[in-house]
Structures are given as C-alpha cells and as structure tokens.
Amino acid sequence: MDRFLLKIALVGGCLGWLSYAQAQPAASNDEAKVQNVRVLLNEGNKYTATPAVQLKIEAMGARQVMVSQNEAFAGAEWKDYQPVFGQINFDDKEGEKKIYVKIKDKYGNVAPVVVASIIYDRTPPKSGAIEITVDGGFVNNPERLVTLELNAANAKYMQISNNAAFREARWQAYRASVPNWKLEGGTEGIKKVYVKFRDGAGNETASSFAEILVDAQPPVDARVSINSDQKVTTDRSGQVKLGLMIRGGQEMKISEQASFAGAEWQPFKPTLAWTLSEGQGEKTIYVKYRDQAQNESEVAMDKIILDNQPPQNCSLTINNGAKYAEDPDKFVELRLMADGATFMMISNTLDFAGGRWEAYRDNVPRWRLSGENGEKTVYVRFKDEHGNETGVFKATIILAI
C-alpha cells in the first residue's frame, strides 16, 4: 500500500488516523547515532600552564553540542557541532579543571555526558637544588667523575650542563641521583655543574649550580732534612729536628719505615721535633705529603747516624796492677781499654788541668807521676769520634823511690 494512504488503527477501542511516518517509533538514547566520542583539552595533555585551553570534540554522528564547566550545565546552550570547538577559559585558581560535554545526534538523542579534565599548573617545581658528591670532597680521579644529588619537588624533567648556557643539554626524566657525571676537562680548579627543572605543565625553575674543586696534581718538591742535614746526632734523648718542605701540601705522614706502617696523617708543619727509635746506628726518616684533594706526593727521605752512647767497657791499670812504683824518674806504664774510643785525656789531677785530647791507644809505656812519694792517682776519660764522652776512670799506685 502506498505510504500516503491512511491506515486505520484501533487504539484504546477507538479508531485513530496516523500517517506512516508518524507511526515510526522515535530513536531512543540507547540507539543514539553518536559514536567514537573523544573530548580533548590541549590535544589531550595532562597539564596546562595557562588557564586558556583549546577544546576539541571528536564524535561521529554529532549534530549539536553543549559545553559547560559545571556538571549541571547551568547557562549552557546547544551549539552546532564542529570538531574544533575553540578556546575554553578557566578561572585562575590552580588545580584540576573539568569540562562537561553533551552531544546530540540528528534525531535529537543525547549521548551520555562526557567529562574531560586537565591540571592547571603555573608554579614551577620547588626547592630546585644540586649537590656534587665525591669521596673526600675533592675530585682527584683522572676521569673527573662525580655523583650529582638533585632535589626539586614536583619536577618531572631536568636539564644538566657543565656550562651556564646549557649548550647541547637535553631535557631528561627527573632523577634524584646521577652517578658518574663527567666534569669538563681542561685546567684544574673550581668546576660548576648547572641544573634546571621542569614540571609536567612545562613550568621551569631558574638554573641552580654546585661547584667542586678539581685537583688531580699531587704536591711537588717534597723534602725533609734532619738536624739541618747533619750526619750524626749525639743527643742523649734521641731527639732530632726535622725540616719539612712541600709545594701544595696540607698534610704529612712521617715514619722510620718505608711502608709508613702505623703512621697517621697530620697537619703540615715546616719544622717538627722527632725522637728516633732506640738503638745506635744509621736512621732513616721517610716523609710524604698530600693536598686537600688527597693527592699524595713522592716520598722524601733523609738519613742520620744516632750515636749517643760513649765508649764502653773502660778501664785503666798502672804497671799491670803493681802496688808500688819504684822508677827513679817516676815513670809508669799505663794500660787502657775503651770500646769505641777515638780519643783519650790523661791527667794526674781530677780537674784535668792542662790536659788535652789525644788519639786513643791502649798502652802508654811512659807516663810520669807527679809529686813526692806516696799514693798517686792517674785519671783518664775517653771520647768517641762523634764526641760522646765517658765519665772519669782512675787507678792508684804508691810512689816509693
């Protein structure tokens, strides 16, 4: 039957006249022709640094749209659909911002409300800071490698550089620690590392920097002298005076062992009193220096002979121990003994008046006694090549002529 012909329908017991078109049921929301809906703020970015954003609505089958910043759509009006809706202006309060969108198809069916959100953030990361850490606090490794410790609340990205202009630096994901950062080569001295941070909205901090001393050169001209380069010391305490010199050193370590076993670092001093180890003979002092970056110098050394003991096992006898001396010219024979002696002084008086040092020998065949008959005493003392003197030794005999 032609669709312009009338049909008779029984409705509630009555006859009604409806056109064919009127008889078609209206499309329901479940049958809305809107598909593939997508609402984008700033192309789907999670953050925005300005309150003005671009709204884009993608929806197949859309004829009209209604957009609002409140869920109730208060004051909102239907507008013809176009994919690029235009600019949306939020208030200036930072935080999450939402857009509510209704979409209507050509039949007037309204699809479920679509919500899009974006975080408005115009505040850069806080507490942007950098610290350079390395063992000892100074860079003395040839590779010039350090660890960077970073801190910036809410940072998502960071940019690090050895120069303030950030030449060739790239944004990278934020990390709290960056090991094995290589400082710029070239001359030694204070080196700086710069950093700036950025959040997800693109807000950047001002640049910050940290600095550290690069010093890989050890101290030079290491020297030590003992008692101003004397060859021997006879000091009974064994104490000597060290003269110390270094260019660029702040600490020193001293030992009589080449291994420096048990020696500790101490602040540098140009002079130092040092007590030699026990025992006679040659002593060696070893010294090395280091600077504030822990660079150590070459080992310096000096030697000295410790001889602070006088001749030992000393004795004196007259005429092989005889009781009387009967030579009419008062001559007697002296027998002497002194281990290590180089010189001796003999006298008939305790004060050694007129005495003089002479080469040591163990026999004096003709020593003349002084004075008249009676008990006579001969005195002697010895000295080694380094000037160590003994006490006084004596022997007696009765002059009877």
Q: For 150-167, what is each residue's pLDDT tens digit?
A: 999 999 999 999 999 999
pLDDT for 48 equals: 94
Are 277 and 243 part of one and the same domain?
A: yes
The whole-angstrom separation of Cα 368 and Cα 328 is 11
pLDDT for 184 equals: 86
Residue 23 domain-assigned? no
Return the number of other C-beta atoms located less than 10 Å from residue 397's C-beta.
19
158 in Cβ contact with 198 (< 8 Å): yes
Are 36 and 107 part of one and the same domain?
A: yes
Listed in sequence order, the residues at least 6 apart from 321 whose beta carbon sits closer than 8 Å to its beta carbon are: none
pLDDT for 31 equals: 57
378 in Cβ contact with 319 (< 8 Å): no
pTM: 0.57
Q: 27-31, 42-46, 56-60, 225-229 — which is least confidently predicted?
A: 27-31
Are 259 and 322 part of one and the same domain?
A: no
**Burial bucket for residue 311 (CB in 10 Å: 0-12, 13-18, 19+):** buried
Residue 45 domain-assigned? yes
Go through the chain and tell me how many residues it has: 401
Residue 351 domain-assigned? yes
The whole-angstrom separation of Cα 315 and Cα 139 is 67
SS (H, E, C) the chain: CCCCCCEEEEECCEEEEECHHHHCCCCCHHHCCCEEEEEEEHHHCCEECCCEEEEEEEEECCCEEEEECCCCCCCCCCEECCCEEEEEECCCCCEEEEEEEEEECCCCCECCCEEEEEEECCCCCEEEEEEEECHHHCECCCCCEEEEEEEEECCCEEEEECCCCCCCCCCEECCCEEEEEECCCCCCEEEEEEEEEECCCCCECCCEEEEEEECCCCCEEEEEEEHHHCCEECCCCCEEEEEEEEECCCEEEEECCCCCCCCCCEECCCEEEEECCCCCEEEEEEEEEECCCCCECCCEEEEEEECCCCCEEEEEEEHHHCCEECCCCCEEEEEEEEECCCEEEEECCCCCCCCCCEECCCEEEEEECCCCCEEEEEEEEEECCCCCECCCEEEEEEECC
Are 243 and 166 part of one and the same domain?
A: no
Return the number of other C-beta atoms located less than 10 Å from residue 42's C-beta.
16
Domain CATH number, residue 267: 2.60.40.10
Residue 93 domain-assigned? yes
Supply the range of the domain harboring residue 375: 312-399
Are 318 and 302 part of one and the same domain?
A: no
Are 204 and 261 part of one and the same domain?
A: no
At residue 73, does pLDDT exceed 60? yes
At residue 110, does pLDDT exceed 50? yes
45 in Cβ contact with 116 (< 8 Å): no
pLDDT above 90 as % of the chain: 84
At residue 183, does pLDDT exceed 80? yes
Are 92 and 114 part of one and the same domain?
A: yes
Q: For 280-329, what is each residue's pLDDT tens digit?
A: 999 999 999 999 888 999 999 999 999 999 999 999 999 999 999 999 99
- Domain total for the chain? 4
Domain CATH number, residue 371: 2.60.40.2470
**What is the separation of C-alpha 97 from the centre of its chain, rounded to a whole number of angstroms?**
47
pLDDT for 236 equals: 92
Name the strands in the sheet holding 300-306, side by side, starting at the edge strand that comes first in the sequence. 232-233, 300-306, 281-290, 251-255, 266-267
pLDDT for 319 equals: 98
Are 272 and 319 part of one and the same domain?
A: no
Closest CA to 330 of 364, 367, 303, 301: 367
Closest CA to 235 of 81, 388, 50: 388
pLDDT for 33 equals: 82
The whole-angstrom separation of Cα 116 and Cα 37 is 11
Residue 327 domain-assigned? yes
Q: For 326-384, what is each residue's pLDDT tens digit?
A: 999 999 999 999 999 999 999 999 999 999 999 999 999 999 999 999 999 999 999 99
Are 317 and 300 part of one and the same domain?
A: no
User: Sign of the C-alpha dihedral, residues 118, 120, 123, 127?
Assistant: negative
Domain boundary among 71, 95, 120: 120
Tokens of 377: 């005493």
Are 294 and 317 part of one and the same domain?
A: no
pLDDT for 239 equals: 97
The whole-angstrom separation of Cα 195 and Cα 149 is 11
Average pLDDT over every residue of 3-23: 28
Residue 29 or 300, more confident: 300
Listed in sequence order, the residues at least 6 apart from 112 whose beta carbon sits closer than 8 Å to its beta carbon are: 29
pLDDT for 32 equals: 62
Domain boundary among 181, 196, 214: 214
Domain boundary among 120, 139, 158: 120
Q: For 163-173, what is each residue's pLDDT tens digit?
A: 999 999 999 99
pLDDT for 19 equals: 25
Are 36 and 116 part of one and the same domain?
A: yes
Distances (CA, A) of 371 to 321, 323, 395: 20, 17, 16
At residue 1, does pLDDT exceed 60? no
Residue 54 domain-assigned? yes
Report, in angstroms and rounded to the nearest whole number, the Rg of the chain calculated over CA atoms: 54
Residue 171 domain-assigned? yes
pLDDT for 139 equals: 86
What does pLDDT average to over the chain? 90
pLDDT for 21 equals: 26
Residue 8 domain-assigned? no
